[in-house]
Structure 1
C-alpha cells in the first residue's frame, strides 16, 4: 500500500510539473497591415500615337490596338487601360459614353467625386473620377482637345473589389493616373 501511495505521489508530482511548465497564453495586441510602396518616379512615354504622357517607371506598358495601352502594375495586380479615339465631330457622344461608363459603377460605389482638368496651353480638357467603395474600378478619366483627340483611362484590380483591402494600392495608382492625365500632350494635329 505504501508502494502504491509513493507511486501515485510521483505520478501526481510529475503531472503537476508537466502541466505547470506551459507558457501562459496571452492574447496578441491588435495590429494593422502595413503596405509600403516606393515613391513614384515618372518617365516620359511617347511612340507613333498622337499623344504622349508620363507614367510610373515601375509599371509595364503594352500597346494594344488603335493606340490603346495597358499599363500593368504586377506587384499590385492592377492595370490601367487607356483607349484612344478620334473625335470625328462626335464629341458629345464620346463624352456621354465616358460619363456613362463611370456612372455604371454607382450601384456598388459609395461615392464618385469629379475633378475637372483644364490646361489651356496644351489644349487638354478632361475629368478625373475618384470612385470610392466596392466598385470594379476606383478611378477613371477622360481627356480631349474637343476637336481631334479623345483618351479615356480606367484602373482595374485582379481581385474581388473590397475597397478597404485594396485602398493603399488604389490610392497609389490613382495618383499615377492623375499624373498621367495632367501630362497628356497631343503630338499630332495640335
Structure 2
C-alpha cells in the first residue's frame, strides 16, 4: 500500500463515519398492542338434560351453573359467555324488557350499540343479537326465545378492565362463536 492510499484511507474513513453517523435523532415509537390471531373455530354439538341444544367451539369449555344455566369459558382469552335460561310463564314481556335493559345499561361506556334481529322460523328461534362498541363491560349479547315456553340470554365478559383496542381480536372471535351458538340453538320438545 502506498503512502497516497494510506493518506486517502485516513481521510475517507472518518468522512464515511461522519456522513453515515449523521441523521435524525432517534424518536420513541408509539405504544403498540400485541397482535392476537386465533385458530378457526371447530364446532361440536352440546346436549344436556336442559330444554335446548346448541353448537359450541371446542376451543372453549362448558360448565353448568345449575337450573339450565351455563358458562362457556375461553381460558386462553380470559373470557366467558354466560348463558341464562328462563322458562316463559306468561312473562315474555318482562323477560324481553330485562334482556333489553341489560344491553342498554352499557350505553354510558359504549360508543355504539348495533342490534340485529334473528329469526329462524323452522326451528322457532327468534331473538336479537347486540354488539356493543367501546369500553363497555360486555361486547356482545343476545336473547332467543320461541315466544311460548323458552327464553335464553347470552353475554360475553372478559376478566379484565375493558379496553376495546386490546381485547378487540378476542371479542371479535367470541362474537362469531356467539352468533354460531344462537344460529344453532334448538329447543327440545
How does the TM-score come out when normalised to structure 1?
Answer: 0.83
Instruction: Give the Cα–Cα distance (whole angstroms) in 1 for the partners of residues 43 and 110 of structure 2.
Output: 30
Partner of 2:61: 60
For residues 10-159 of structure 1, the aligned pairs below 5 Å read: 33-159=34-160
Instruction: Give the Cα–Cα distance (whole angstroms) in 1 for the partners of residues 113 and 182 of structure 2.
Output: 18
| CA gap 1:35/1:145 in 2 versus in 1, 3 angstroms | same
Partner of 2:161: 160
Instruction: Give the Cα–Cα distance (whole angstroms) in 2 for the partners of residues 32 and 68 of structure 1.
Output: 35
User: Is 2:170 the partner of 1:187?
Assistant: no
RMSD of aligned C-alpha atoms?
Answer: 1.8
How does the TM-score come out when normalised to structure 2?
Answer: 0.84
- Once the 2 structures are TM-superposed, how far is the Cα of residue 33 of structure 1 from its aligned partner? 2.8
Q: Identify unmatched segments of 5+ residues in structure 2.
A: 1-20
Instruction: Give the Cα–Cα distance (whole angstroms) in 1 for the partners of residues 99 and 33 of structure 2.
Output: 37
* Secondary structure of 1:181 counterpart: helix
The 8 Å contact of residues 83 and 153 in structure 2, kept in 1 or not, is answered as yes
Q: How many residues align?
A: 166
Instruction: Give the Cα–Cα distance (whole angstroms) in 2 for the partners of residues 170 and 106 of structure 1.
Output: 18
The 8 Å contact of residues 33 and 166 in structure 2, kept in 1 or not, is answered as no
Instruction: Give the Cα–Cα distance (whole angstroms) in 2 for the partners of residues 160 and 32 of structure 1.
Output: 15
- Once the 2 structures are TM-superposed, how far is the Cα of residue 175 of structure 1 from its aligned partner? 0.5
Q: Identify unmatched segments of 5+ residues in structure 1.
A: 1-23
